[in-house]
Amino acid sequence: MTLEIYLADNSPPTTVCIRRVIPKSIYPKFATNTSAMRRFLLSALALTLTLCANTAFAQLDQLMPVPLSVQPAKGKFRLKDKFEVSIRQKEPTRIDEGAKRFLQRLDGRTALNIPDYATKIAFPVDGLNIIVNRNGKLQLHEDESYKLQVTSSRIMLDAETDIGALRGLETVLQLLSVDEEGFYFPACKIEDAPRFPWRGLLIDVCRHWQPVEVIHRNLDAMAAMKLNVLHWHLSEDQGFRIESKKFPMLHQLGSNGDYFTQEQVKEIIAYADARGIRVVPEFDIPGHATAWFVGHPELASAPGPYTIEKKFGVFDPAMNPANETTYKFLEIFLAEMTALFPDAYFHIGGDENEGKQWDKNPEVAQLKKDKGLKENHDVQAYFNQRLLEFLTEDGKRMVGWDEILQPSIPTNIVIQSWRGKEALKKAAEAGYDVMLSAGLYIDLCQSTAYHYAQDPLPAELQLDKKAQGHVLGGEATMWAELISPETIDSRIWPRTCAIAERFWSAATVQDVDDMYRRLPKVSRDLEELGLMHIRYADVLIRRMARSENTLPLQTLRAVIGPLQGYKRHGQGIAYSTETPLTRLPDIAIPDPTMPREFAAAVDLHIAKADVMQSLVIRNWLELFKNNHHSIEHQAETAPAMRAVLPISQQLQALSVVGIGLLDMLEKGEADAQRKEGYQKTITQARTPVQECEILIVDPIQRLFEKVYGK
Ligand code: ACM
């Protein structure tokens, strides 16, 4: 029997579909994201599935990114300890190693000790069968599609390229489900292909050094989320992070010893290649370049000496665009680097050069006169033109931040928009290929929902068809001012899973609640790839608390978030590359789950006077109220925890207010005497402490208004 599934949008109900079997209107009783709603949904699903005699459906409802089309079918492929994988291909491809990694992960998840696979066994086998037509080229627009069919007897994965097959294997892993009999894959038919060809993650390894293992594990996670470009930000004011054999003083004097050797670079490129991920290097010039000048002050627009920058911000040093030595140097350097990086695209940065050194440099004034350049922007366009010649000679396409878009620059470069979507529109309409990073700055600790809403093709821009064709996709950007190798994963994941879905899945996949429903499982599964995004907090907490007991700080952490945007920089600490990143705002994560669930419970209670919700809210508030005593106790022997006391105390006071408000709601009477004090406590709880904020102040304010009126 075919199951009809309803989509949030108006797509036909017979195919596609995994997200919702129940139209929203039949669960209005529960706000989204509460466990009550989940329980209800699950029982409703169970009922629907029984009615439809289709037990596979619910387990299809966990994929991220959502595939193009998913058709549930009847039956389950049971996973036993004998599980063969058979590969049909004309030549060795990435899928040979990919299938091994797949089996290792399956082993790890199921503890079944599945034996090694063989490629020469019969085809098809009663296991996983992979058909690959050809080796994929690691290039933009390569075919990444795949088709997957799971029946109760076998799994068939069919792809034009091995890269498509790798994407399909990730989907198979996500399908792994459990029932009372054990592990199985739900029967289904999936057809999948990405919406955008450029789906990237920028990792800044300069502001804070990120060693090879950080890159490795994040490449694995990118592959799991079907991302396909690592944008490797390799030079900055704070560090020159790659070995140059032509100009060794670049890395020797510009990096404090933390740089990638060329052997490591080759190995990382191969590691990424094996996972179907392109590596695009960025050398940010002419600004953001102080570290270059430590070893090569002759490249700068003002005399040295220079030292590696330790602070963060926008700095004056910029390459000298008026000196031919600069171009000779860059020609040789770029030839070296373009030979090292096989990708067809090469990023030259170009952002935030304010030209302060240029204004004071008589050679630049002369250049302006000689070439008829009016503004510093024109000088930078001239500089970029020269770079473009070198890169074109080296067979590369130039990529840069939106500042490099100048009327004189040819349209065969790629613009990465970061200052706003208007820049993307302007570039696409002018005929440039573009990608979006505005709104995707994951260093700013904004919510997953916020990033999920950033579409590389925003409807409000009203791009015509031609301009739409120039939008390649987008990149999340992991800038590294406030991250260490310990914390970086927690800033990238799991929010970047939602961004990956925006890049891969159909534009109609928009259901924020459903994204949040799927996110925790996907996030947990990333741990098997060595990601630290969940476990790092316990490590930091044990250090801070000088104790095995992580519960008090974990409890506090559930309800706070690091300040968003650039606000962490304005709270008293003058951050530098040497500031420890082991404090409360580093332990706190962006967009934790609990405050969302708390807000939903409060809103339900306000709307319906729901006793269950009241209990849930009260339990949380009691927990937070009492938690402060544990924090105080730990702080006695853990000096680093003392800075946490004020916010913990604020939370305690807020919780006491919340409990008082619940009492009044239950009694149906508002105690006028407490009104002023309560409002004051709520307002005070909004004051950031330790660069963190309490994330349940708004719902408590709503409870207050329910009791006392607005
Ligand atoms: C940038 O954030 N300056 C590209």
- Spacing, Cα 418 to ligand 1 middle (Å): 6
User: Which of 50, 112, 689 is closest to 697 using CA atoms?
Assistant: 689
Chain centre to alpha carbon of residue 437: 11
Residue 93 backbone dihedrals phi, psi, to 5 degrees? -135, 180
Output the CA torsion sign for 166, 167, 173, 177: negative
Give CA–CA dist 235/242, Å, rounded.
Answer: 8
What confidence tens digit (pLDDT) does each residue in 345-404 have? 999 999 999 999 999 999 999 999 999 999 999 999 999 999 999 999 999 999 999 999
User: Which of 467, 468, 473 is closest to 430 using CA atoms?
Assistant: 467
The answer, yes or no, to whether residue 417 has pLDDT greater than 90, is: yes
Whether residue 351 has its Cβ less than 6 Å from ligand 1: yes
Q: What is the pLDDT of residue 122?
A: 83
Residue 476 backbone dihedrals phi, psi, to 5 degrees? -80, 145
Q: What is the pLDDT of residue 119?
A: 57
Q: What is the pLDDT of residue 117?
A: 60
Describe the chain by its helix, strand, coil percentages, rounded to 5. 45, 15, 40
Give CA–CA dist 707/679, Å, rounded.
Answer: 12
User: Which of 655, 656, 667 is closest to 707 using CA atoms?
Assistant: 667
Which three-class secondary structure state does DSSP give residue 446?
Answer: coil
Q: What is the pLDDT of residue 289?
A: 98
Average pLDDT over residues 122-145: 95
Give CA–CA dist 120/216, Å, rounded.
Answer: 30
CA angle 87, 92, 98 (to 5 degrees): 60
The answer, yes or no, to whether residue 148 has pLDDT greater than 70, is: yes
Find out whether 169 and 99 touch, Cβ atoms under 8 Å.
yes
Whether residue 418 has its Cβ less than 6 Å from ligand 1: yes
Tokens 């916010």 sit on residue: 647
Find out whether 148 and 188 touch, Cβ atoms under 8 Å.
yes
Find out whether 290 and 315 touch, Cβ atoms under 8 Å.
yes
Percentage of the chain lying above the pLDDT 90 cut: 88
Give CA–CA dist 118/96, Å, rounded.
Answer: 10
Residues linked to residue 347 through DSSP beta bridges, in sequence order: 282, 399
Average pLDDT over residues 432-454: 98
- Spacing, Cα 472 to ligand 1 middle (Å): 19
Average pLDDT over residues 106-128: 81
User: Which of 112, 220, 217 is closest to 166 using CA atoms?
Assistant: 220
Q: What is the pLDDT of residue 118?
A: 59
Q: Which of 237, 314, 352, 416 to mutate to test the pocket of ligand 1 (most atoms within 8 A of CB)?
A: 352
Find out whether 501 and 523 touch, Cβ atoms under 8 Å.
no
What confidence tens digit (pLDDT) does each residue in 308-362 have? 999 999 999 999 999 999 999 999 999 999 999 999 999 999 999 999 999 999 9
DSSP code of residue 377: H
Find out whether 399 and 280 touch, Cβ atoms under 8 Å.
yes
Give the residue, by CA position, lying nearest to ligand 1 atom 1. 351
Work out the number of other CB atoms within 10 angstroms of the CB of residue 8.
14
Q: What is the pLDDT of residue 58?
A: 53
What confidence tens digit (pLDDT) does each residue in 189-211 have? 999 999 999 999 999 999 999 99
Rounded to whole angstroms, what are the CA distances from 360 to 157, 363, 588? 63, 9, 44
Give CA–CA dist 98/215, Å, rounded.
Answer: 18
- Spacing, Cα 393 to ligand 1 middle (Å): 27
Q: What is the mean pLDDT of the chain?
A: 91
Helix ranges (DSSP H) in 361-420: 362-371, 376-393
Work out the number of other CB atoms within 10 angstroms of the CB of residue 672.
8
Give CA–CA dist 54/48, Å, rounded.
Answer: 9
The answer, yes or no, to whether residue 22 has pLDDT greater than 50, is: no
Q: What is the pLDDT of residue 345?
A: 98
- Spacing, Cα 476 to ligand 1 middle (Å): 12
Instruction: Extract the runs of DSSP E, i.e. beta strands, from 328-470.
Output: 345-347, 397-401, 414-417, 433-436
User: Which of 243, 218, 409, 410 is closest to 340 using CA atoms?
Assistant: 243
Q: What is the pLDDT of residue 535?
A: 97
One-letter amino acid for residue 576 of the chain: S
What confidence tens digit (pLDDT) does each residue in 660-697 have? 999 999 999 999 999 999 999 999 999 999 999 999 99
Which three-class secondary structure state does DSSP give residue 103?
Answer: helix
**Ligand 1 atom closest to 479 (CA):** 2
**Ligand 1 atom closest to 441 (CA):** 2
- Spacing, Cα 316 to ligand 1 middle (Å): 15
Give CA–CA dist 289/525, Å, rounded.
Answer: 39
Whether residue 401 has its Cβ less than 6 Å from ligand 1: yes
Give the residue, by CA position, lying nearest to ligand 1 atom 3. 351
The angle, 0 to 180 degrees and rounded to 10, between the axes of the packed helices 94-110 and 162-175 is: 10
Q: How far apart are the first and last CA of the chain?
A: 54
User: Which of 69, 212, 209, 217 is closest to 146 using CA atoms?
Assistant: 69
Q: What is the pLDDT of residue 570?
A: 87
Q: What is the pLDDT of residue 23?
A: 30
Find out whether 22 and 44 touch, Cβ atoms under 8 Å.
yes
Predicted TM-score (pTM) of the model is 0.92
Q: What is the pLDDT of residue 710?
A: 87
User: Which of 658, 488, 629 is closest to 556 using CA atoms?
Assistant: 629
The three-state (H, E, C) secondary structure of 181-224, written as one string: CEEEEEEEEEEECCCCCEEEEEEECCCCCCCHHHHHHHHHHHHH
Average pLDDT over residues 93-102: 96
Rounded to whole angstroms, what are the CA distances from 682 to 591, 595, 613? 21, 16, 21
Chain centre to alpha carbon of residue 585: 18
Q: What is the pLDDT of residue 631?
A: 98
Find out whether 174 and 522 touch, Cβ atoms under 8 Å.
yes
Please enumerate in sequence order all residues whose Cβ is within 8 A of that of 36, keeping only pairs 6 or more positions apart, or say none: 30, 612, 613
Which three-class secondary structure state does DSSP give residue 234?
Answer: strand
Number of H helices, E strands in the chain: 25, 18
**Ligand 1 atom closest to 401 (CA):** 4
Whether residue 441 has its Cβ less than 6 Å from ligand 1: no
Give CA–CA dist 68/195, Å, rounded.
Answer: 9
Largest CA distance in the chain: 83
Instruction: Check 191, 267, 352, 632 and give the catalytic one.
Output: 352
* Region for residue 565 given its phi and psi (left: phi exceeds 0; alpha: psi -120 to 50; beta: otherwise): left
- Spacing, Cα 23 to ligand 1 middle (Å): 42
The answer, yes or no, to whether residue 29 has pLDDT greater than 90, is: no
User: Which of 529, 461, 460, 466 is closest to 493 using CA atoms?
Assistant: 529
Q: What is the pLDDT of residue 145?
A: 98
Active site residue 352: yes
Tokens 């599980």 sit on residue: 83
- Spacing, Cα 169 to ligand 1 middle (Å): 35
What confidence tens digit (pLDDT) does each residue in 212-260 have? 999 999 999 999 999 999 999 999 999 999 999 999 999 999 999 999 9
Give the residue, by CA position, lying nearest to ligand 1 atom 2. 418
Burial environment of residue 40 by CB neighbours within 10 A (0 to 12, 13 to 18, 19 or more): middle
Please enumerate in sequence order all residues whose Cβ is within 8 A of that of 203, keeping only pairs 6 or more positions apart, or say none: 210, 214, 215, 218, 230, 231, 232, 233, 478, 480, 488
Give CA–CA dist 256/208, Å, rounded.
Answer: 11
